[in-house]
């Protein structure tokens, strides 16, 4: 009776055909009831023979029940949700403990009531949810938080599906393993766990998961690029590229390397989104459910620490009491600064020398923005085994007497150089990424907190260019003096932490910027952050590839 979760075929539940789903659900029901009956019979045996075997059987059943719990809450198909719940109740009636979700919803930072509930979506959103579920076999918490911005989500899912599942230079198991390597650099166990499951599902060798040293030499060689790209991309040179392309029998082709680089940058950025939005563990993964009965108050202690316990967020933050009028004043002040800057732009334009000087000032100042939670936290073994050199992390590019030349967008930019290189070596991906960049950058509902009909382009550009400035990337036509006017210190701390050291993001940081803004607007900020970060990493990597090729 050692049937594990992998023996159960969940694929049929992804079908759009209700009869196929019904057949799959009935098969799952029979397997689970068979395992349940076996464990009940063992319990009733006066002298059970093999304790270890029984523990393995119970563990296998618990994994199946956790998966069913996830389906009962997160499957876009109503029949699957209802039947999953029915099977769980049937098991409970037979005297077996069933799991319940931990926490409250997809995000530890955003109250569950503000996030779209599965089952209450409109037809357009249902189609999007169904596509996502059909592709991945789950509707993950990242999707449920990104759904605040459906246009972006559609582009994101299309790009990710292409990178992971459509025709491309790299085999499927390599793609998921590279995702694990990239997420592990930021200690993002959420993404690591998801891709460990996906890696095994597509036939990956479980031995590779014991540590990077057990993976093929070709993947081990990618470790250095992963490390530098994640933490100090301005240090990438054509020598890094040459080392991967000329490694004899372990060599990468140019097309494979571009695929790998896009995957690395995608998952570094997605780790930023995961931490920046406080994404909770998936219901069926570790930390997402419990088999313990609910406590008297029906709250888990973790709910109090993550802030999801019903306190009115406009009244309190870590700094103490924040009145609604105070945060209202912050919004008004920001609107006024935008108006003044627009008037100054219309009246006079700074010289090129002045613009260059303002960039250098902002670049220097960005080095002195850091979170108060700046102590190093050693990564857990289950994550750190997927990469080498665990002490290597983000360091500002001008520290320790280093001088990194400014990366001028006029000399090498995404639109004129990076896009065409990616599209040439990995067809269609350049187009998909470009569309995603444009949607994130141009996305607007012309609102700011309680105000409507607002042009937010100045604010969006300041956020994007501040991130690129932190990476040493300069736009000659941008006045970097605007950044200090529009982005206050608490916001800069949040931005820098999400982009450079996402594992250090706290709910306090999330709550402390733009206190009167909606959660959907803060998620929008995170979309800008991850796309600006991904583009910055890609620019450095693709420029190095271009230099190698020429």
Q: How confident is the model at residue 317 (pLDDT cuts 50, 70, 90)?
A: very low
Residues catalogued as catalytic? 188
In tens, the pLDDT along 72-106 reads: 999 999 999 999 999 999 999 988 899 999 888 99
pLDDT of 173 > 90? The answer is yes
Q: What is the pLDDT of residue 263?
A: 98
Q: Pick the range with the lowest mean pLDDT from 48-62, 480-494, 523-537.
A: 48-62
In tens, the pLDDT along 186-208 reads: 999 999 999 998 999 899 999 99
Q: How confident is the model at residue 321 (pLDDT cuts 50, 70, 90)?
A: very low
Which residues pair with residue 107 across a beta bridge? Answer: 279
Q: What is the pLDDT of residue 381?
A: 53
Closest among 215, 222, 218 to 240, alpha carbons compared: 222
Closest among 271, 230, 284 to 142, alpha carbons compared: 271
Q: What is the DSSP-derived secondary structure letter of residue 390?
A: T
Closest among 399, 384, 398, 385 to 503, alpha carbons compared: 384
Is 113 strand, coil or helix? helix
Show the DSSP H helices in 94-237 as ranges. 123-136, 141-146, 150-165, 172-185, 189-201, 217-231
Distance CA 375, CA 150 (A): 37
Q: What is the DSSP-derived secondary structure letter of residue 321?
A: E
Q: Which two tokens stand for residue 308?
A: 């999801």
In tens, the pLDDT along 402-421 reads: 567 789 999 999 999 999 99
Closest among 534, 503, 507 to 519, alpha carbons compared: 507
- 473 φ, ψ to 5°? -100, 125
- Rounded to a whole number of angstroms, the CA Rg of the chain reads 25
Q: What is the pLDDT of residue 40?
A: 79
Distance CA 446, CA 454 (A): 5
Q: What is the pLDDT of residue 431?
A: 96
pLDDT of 34 > 60? The answer is yes
Q: Mean pLDDT of all residues in the chain?
A: 86
Q: How confident is the model at residue 324 (pLDDT cuts 50, 70, 90)?
A: low
In tens, the pLDDT along 423-461 reads: 999 999 999 999 999 999 999 999 988 889 999 999 999
pLDDT of 544 > 80? The answer is yes
Please compute the mean of the pLDDT values over residues 311-323 and round it to a whole number: 42
């Amino acid at each position: 009776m050692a049937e594990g979760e992998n023996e159960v075929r969940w694929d049929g539940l992804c079908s759009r055909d209700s009869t196929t789903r019904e057949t799959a659900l009935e098969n799952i029901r029979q397997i689970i009831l068979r395992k349940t009956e076996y464990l009940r019979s063992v319990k009733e045996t006066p002298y059970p023979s093999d304790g270890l075997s029984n523990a393995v059987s119970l563990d296998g059943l618990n994994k199946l029940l956790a998966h069913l719990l996830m389906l009962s809450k997160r499957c876009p198909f109503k029949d699957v949700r209802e039947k999953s719940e029915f099977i769980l109740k049937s098991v409970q009636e037979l005297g077996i403990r069933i799991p319940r979700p931990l926490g409250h919803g997809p995000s530890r930072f955003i109250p569950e009531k503000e996030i779209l509930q599965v089952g209450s979506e409109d037809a357009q959103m249902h189609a999007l949810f169904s596509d996502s579920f059909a592709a991945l076999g789950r509707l993950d918490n990242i999707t449920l938080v990104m759904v605040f911005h459906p246009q972006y989500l559609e582009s994101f899912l299309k790009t990710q599906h292409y990178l992971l599942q459509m025709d491309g230079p790299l085999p499927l198991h390599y793609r998921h393993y590279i995702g694990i390597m990239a997420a592990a650099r930021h200690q993002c166990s959420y993404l690591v766990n998801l891709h460990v499951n996906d890696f095994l599902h597509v036939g990956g060798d479980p031995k590779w998961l014991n540590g990077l040293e057990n993976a093929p030499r070709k993947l081990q060689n990618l470790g250095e690029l992963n490390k530098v790209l994640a933490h100090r991309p301005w240090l990438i040179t054509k020598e890094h590229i040459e080392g991967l392309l000329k490694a004899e029998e372990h060599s990468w082709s140019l097309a494979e390397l571009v695929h790998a680089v896009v995957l690395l940058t995608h998952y570094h950025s997605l780790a930023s989104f995961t931490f920046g939005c406080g994404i909770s563990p998936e219901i069926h993964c570790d930390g997402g459910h419990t088999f313990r009965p609910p406590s008297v108050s029906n709250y888990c202690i973790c709910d109090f620490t993550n802030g999801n316990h019903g306190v009115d967020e406009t009244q309190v933050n870590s700094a103490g009491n924040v009145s609604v009028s105070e945060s209202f004043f912050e919004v008004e002040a920001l609107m006024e600064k935008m108006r003044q800057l627009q008037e100054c732009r219309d009246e006079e334009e700074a010289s090129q020398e002045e613009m260059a000087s303002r960039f250098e000032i902002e670049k220097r100042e960005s080095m002195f923005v850091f979170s108060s939670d700046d102590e190093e936290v050693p990564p857990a073994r289950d994550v750190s085994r997927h990469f080498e050199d665990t002490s290597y992390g983000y360091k500002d590019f001008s520290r320790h007497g280093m001088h990194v030349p400014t990366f001028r967008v006029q000399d090498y930019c995404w639109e004129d150089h990076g896009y065409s290189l990616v599209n040439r070596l990995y067809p269609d991906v350049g187009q998909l990424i470009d569309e995603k960049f444009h949607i994130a950058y141009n996305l607007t509902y012309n609102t700011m907190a309680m105000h409507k009909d607002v042009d937010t382009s100045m604010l969006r550009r300041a956020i994007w260019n501040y991130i690129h400035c932190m990476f040493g990337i300069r736009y000659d036509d941008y006045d970097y003096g605007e950044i200090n006017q529009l982005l206050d210190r608490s916001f800069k701390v949040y931005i820098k932490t999400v982009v450079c050291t996402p594992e250090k993001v706290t709910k306090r940081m999330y709550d402390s910027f733009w206190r009167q803004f909606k959660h959907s607007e803060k998620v929008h900020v995170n979309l800008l952050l991850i796309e600006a970060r991904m583009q910055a990493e890609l620019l450095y990597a693709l420029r190095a590839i271009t230099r190698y090729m020429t």
